[in-house]
Amino acid sequence: MGNEVVDHGRRRFLTAATAVVGGVGVVAAAVPFIKSWEPSARAKAAGAPVTQSLKKIELGQQLIVSWRSLPIFIVNRTKQQLAALPGQDPRLVDPKSDGSSSAQQPKYAQNEARSIKPEWLVMIGICTHLGCVPTYVGEMKPEPFDPNWQGGYYCPCHHSRYDMAGRVYKDVPAPKNMVIPPYHYVDDMTVQIGVNPKEAS
Amino acid sequence: MANVFSRLGGWITERSPGLMPMYRKHMSEYYAPKNFNLWYYFGSLAFLVLVSQIVTGIFLTMNYNPSAAGAFDSVQYIMRDVEWGWLIRYMHSTGASLFFIVVFLHMFRGIIYGSYKKPRELVWLLGMLIFLVLMAEAFMGYVLPWGNMSFWGAKVIISLFGTIPVIGGHLVDWIMGDFLPGDATLNRFFALHVIALPLVLLLLVVLHLAALHEVGSNNPDGVEIKKGPKGNRWSPLAPADGIPFHPYYTVKDLFGVGFFLLIAAFIIFFAPTLGGWFLEHDNSIRANNLVTPSEIKPVWYFTSFYGIVRVMPAFLGTAVWGVLTMFAAIAVLFLFPWIDRGQVKSIRYRGTGFKVGLGVFVLAFIGLGSLGAGVTDKVFPEWFGDVDLATWDNNFGRLMILLYFGFFVFLWAYTHFGWEKTKPVPDRVTMHD
Amino acid sequence: MKYFFPVLALTLGLLAGSASVQAEEGHGSELMSSGASVRDQASLQRGARLYFNYCVGCHSLKYMRYSRMAKDLGLTENEVMQNLNFTGAKFDGPVISHMPPALATKWFGKAPPDLSLEVSAKGADWVYTYLNTFYLDPHSPVGWNNLTLPNAAMPFPLWELQGMQTAVMKPGSAHQVEKLELSQPGRLTPAQYQQATRDLTSFLQYVSEPAALQRHRYGVWVLLFLAFFTLLAYMLKKEYWKDVH
């Protein structure tokens, strides 16, 4: 038995070939298991676009609706709140939302008020620090955390602060401006969240 | 690159003293007889299926909902809404049946080559325990989808315990945690199925392998290679008829794995229900405690034992006899090493009586299986015309039970009184291919 | 070893034999062969159209989403929402009938069942046969009866397509049906009607297991890959075992 000379080259080649093909098989078999963690059809259906009328939101008021289980802040900003926005720029991390926060909003909301129509703010109310929901503090009056408060958001978890356009102030834990979701106006007083203006037309 | 790996390997083995000796003991210097044939694939295949069941099972629990209200819907959720969920579930459901096919063949291998005999009695006992736990595991898993067969299967099987005198009635309520299978039943079965029994199963598998490697593998000739001459091309001290498990049997088993996966993939992708044998039609109907499926029967791997319960009559005012007989049919398998007194292990050199007896035993097992699966109810009228089915089933089933147990009585007598005429066993193993 | 293959063949033969017996089993009457297939997309589309015109009024498909159906049947969102979805349900939502269960129970004696898993539970042949064995029965409260499911609670919804069948009794019997006769033709010829019910059955078979389409698509590649791997492993085994032989 086994007296012939072993062909080591062939043996090594076959071992390598089997190992590679087997490895490919194991990786391919892992794909379905990894993919099964993707949001399911049910989750995606629950994440379908949300349509919201703006009619009942009064000046200076905020309404929170749920889209993909996320809190969506819809605010009817006052003239004063809007007027105060440019004045905040020096105190903000990324006032033009073109630096570290350039991916935090769709292109059509990359402006001073971070919105399609200046008066209506539509924003995902999740702090960019660790994911808490910041509190809306709309009144422009001195607050314990900021004597010069011009309205905005204050996060109860680690005291991050944002202005009335969801732009983050300097020297707080949160690194970026809050996220603006894709949305568009179905008509003058109705927004649909989850669909870009282009996709809607 | 290879250098990096070997250095990393060295670094680890230097710091974990048990690793290399273990690898040598169980792989590179475990000398297995060189004449293993086709029957010897099923051990490694059983291990493969076990691993696959654990992995797919873990992923199923991620989306399964163990409640009477949500279980059935959650299975459909897995089948439709979860990406690739259907594949994971079909792998698990097909795996369950393939597990039993492989285990049955593995056990049959042990019987035809006398692998349960001295010095491997413990290997056999541990293997039988694995079989027992596997049956419990499979039964509880079968209940989880909460289809109508799940529900009634659970009810009927649990009711078996109700036949036990005195405590039976209360025992049934205790097992179900309710007066019908319900949320409590489903939750405890889920806990046992996904964590408790798999742990026991894994422990038993480790012990089964440890016990095997202590005494060494048997082979189709039933020759003890450790008692034969020493010295082979790998070691002067190793048995001459042994070859290192790695690489020879690892590459051979790899081929077996490929072939097995081909069959498994064919079923999973093209016939996941296998005509109602692997996944039953009636289990596509939500559990309904008011309507028993018209053809209630367990999944195919339980049908042989279920067939026994079906045909055993009640007497002395209790139905416990069927249940006792069923458990006896399993218990007697544990005793194989002591019932069979023959010195010759392999069927190749055993007497004709053993071969015929074993054939009858296998036919009885299959016969009881077809009875339990309701096949006889269809076949008898087709073959014999308009017959009294109940009587035919009963007589046929009782005959099969008689043959099943008769085999063990015969085997004991045949070997104990020296009636067996064996052929001479060779000193060394033989190679056929 | 030498007995292995004969025994294996015998076992498989027995299994296959009993499986076919299993498949042949009748539920009250002999089942017709449906010829349904989920591979014929045009047939699935026709079946879907029938389902949404004649069935969905009462029978939900609660596990089936419109969006999934559109994707699998090769239909656009608009086509589905305008031609099939008559309830105003969401595109991502499931197919739910608008019939209130309480009213249905009042009208038919029981709520019409959800048909998501009908083919899985009963088999395609059963559904096909059921759709082809309705007949006029003056003794039935709904005016119709069915050979496959005697005393079915459902009045025949497709009568304007098939027409009306009446039962011809066995000689000397008042209840045993010998065969059904088309006493009044419908809009479709018998052949067209059979094709229509075949389409409907195919659609319900698809609904029972939408994953079947994926199974067939990926299965071939998986088998080819495994065959290649097995071949390699076999060559590797042969190579190493030269040492032993």
How many other CB atoms sit within 10 Å of the CB of residue A86? 11
CA distances from B378 to A27, B280, B304, C22 (A): 46, 17, 17, 8
User: How confident is the model at residue C15, as a pLDDT?
Assistant: 53
User: How confident is the model at residue C12, as a pLDDT?
Assistant: 55
Q: What percent of chain A has pLDDT over 70?
A: 98
Using CB atoms within 10 Å of the CB of residue C173, give its burial: 0 to 12 exposed, 13 to 18 middle, 19+ buried. exposed
Interval A81-101: pLDDT, tens: 999 999 999 999 999 999 899
The chain B residue lying nearest A21, using CA atoms, is B258
In the predicted model, what is the mean pLDDT of residues A142-148?
88
Residue with tokens 């809009």: C187
Active-site residue, from A8, A129, A158, A184: A158
Contact C22 B382 (CB under 8 A): no
Interval B334-361: pLDDT, tens: 999 999 999 999 999 999 999 999 999 9
CA distances from B22 to B6, B36, C56 (A): 18, 23, 64
CA angle in degrees (0–180, nearest 5) for A6-A9-A10: 80
Contact B254 A38 (CB under 8 A): no
Q: How far apart are CA B411 and CA B235, in angstroms?
A: 40
Q: How far apart are CA A93 and CA A77, in angstroms?
A: 22
Q: How far apart are CA A109 and CA A121, in angstroms?
A: 10
User: How confident is the model at residue B215, as a pLDDT?
Assistant: 95
User: How confident is the model at residue C62, as a pLDDT?
Assistant: 95
Catalytic residue check, A158 = yes
> Per the domain annotation, does C245 fall within a domain?
no
Q: What does DSSP assign to residue C62?
A: E
User: How confident is the model at residue C178, as a pLDDT?
Assistant: 85
Interval C182-221: pLDDT, tens: 999 999 999 999 999 999 999 999 999 999 999 999 999 9
**C7: confidence class by pLDDT, cuts 50, 70, 90:** low
**C24: confidence class by pLDDT, cuts 50, 70, 90:** very low
Residue C21: pLDDT over 60: no
Contact A36 B59 (CB under 8 A): yes
The chain A residue lying nearest C241, using CA atoms, is A2
Three-state secondary structure readout of A58-106 = CCCCEEEEEECCEEEEEEECCHHHHHHHHHHHHHECCCCCCCCCCCCCC
Q: What percent of chain B has pLDDT over 90?
A: 82
Mean pLDDT estimate for chain C = 86
> Per the domain annotation, does C2 fall within a domain?
no
Touching subunits of A (3+ CB pairs, under 8 Å) are B, C
ipTM of the complex, rounded to two decimals: 0.92
Q: How far apart are CA C245 and CA C241, in angstroms?
A: 6
Residue A115: pLDDT over 90: yes
Residue A166: pLDDT over 70: yes
Mean pLDDT estimate for chain B = 94
In the predicted model, what is the mean pLDDT of residues B168-188?
94
Interval B76-119: pLDDT, tens: 999 999 999 999 999 999 999 999 999 999 999 999 999 999 99
In the predicted model, what is the mean pLDDT of residues B143-147?
97
**Mapping DSSP to helix (H, G, I), strand (E, B) and coil, where does residue B121 land?**
helix
- To the question of pTM greater than 0.80 for the whole model, the response is yes
Residue C42: pLDDT over 80: yes
Mutation target among B59, B84, B260, B430 for the A interface, most CBs of A within 10 A: B84
Residue C101: pLDDT over 50: yes
> Which of A126, A141, A142 lies closest to A177 in space, CA to CA?
A126
Q: How far apart are CA C32 and CA B336, in angstroms?
A: 50
Contact between C36 and C201 under an 8 Å Cβ cutoff? The reply is: yes
Q: How far is C178 from chain B (nearest CA, A)?
A: 21
> Per the domain annotation, does C1 fall within a domain?
no
User: How confident is the model at residue B45, as a pLDDT?
Assistant: 98
Residue B416 CB partners (closer than 8 Å, separation 6+):
B341
Q: Pseudo-torsion of CA C219, C220, C224, C227, nearest 10°? A: 60
> Which of B276, B300, B33 lies closest to C119 in space, CA to CA?
B276
**B395: confidence class by pLDDT, cuts 50, 70, 90:** very high
Q: Which of C92, C232, C242 sits opposite A48 (nearest CB)?
A: C92
Domain hosting residue C43, numbered range: 20-238
Kindly list the residues from chain A whose CB atom is less than 8 angstroms away from the CB atom of residue C69: none
Contact B55 A33 (CB under 8 A): yes
**A45-200 CATH, one of 3.30.1060.10, 2.102.10.10, 3.40.50.1980, 1.10.10.60:** 2.102.10.10
More confident residue, C152 or C175: C152
Residue B294: pLDDT over 90: no
Interval C117-145: pLDDT, tens: 999 999 999 999 999 999 999 888 888 99
User: How confident is the model at residue B19, as a pLDDT?
Assistant: 87
User: How confident is the model at residue B14, as a pLDDT?
Assistant: 87
Residue B126: pLDDT over 70: yes
- Token output for A53: 């009328």
Contact B87 A22 (CB under 8 A): no
Q: How far apart are CA B307 and CA B375, in angstroms?
A: 11
Q: How far apart are CA A85 and CA A92, in angstroms?
A: 10
How many other CB atoms sit within 10 Å of the CB of residue B334? 17
The total of structural domains in chain C comes to 1
- CATH code of the domain in which C148 resides: 1.10.760.10
Residue B196 CB partners (closer than 8 Å, separation 6+):
none
**Mapping DSSP to helix (H, G, I), strand (E, B) and coil, where does residue A191 land?**
strand
Residue B207: pLDDT over 60: yes
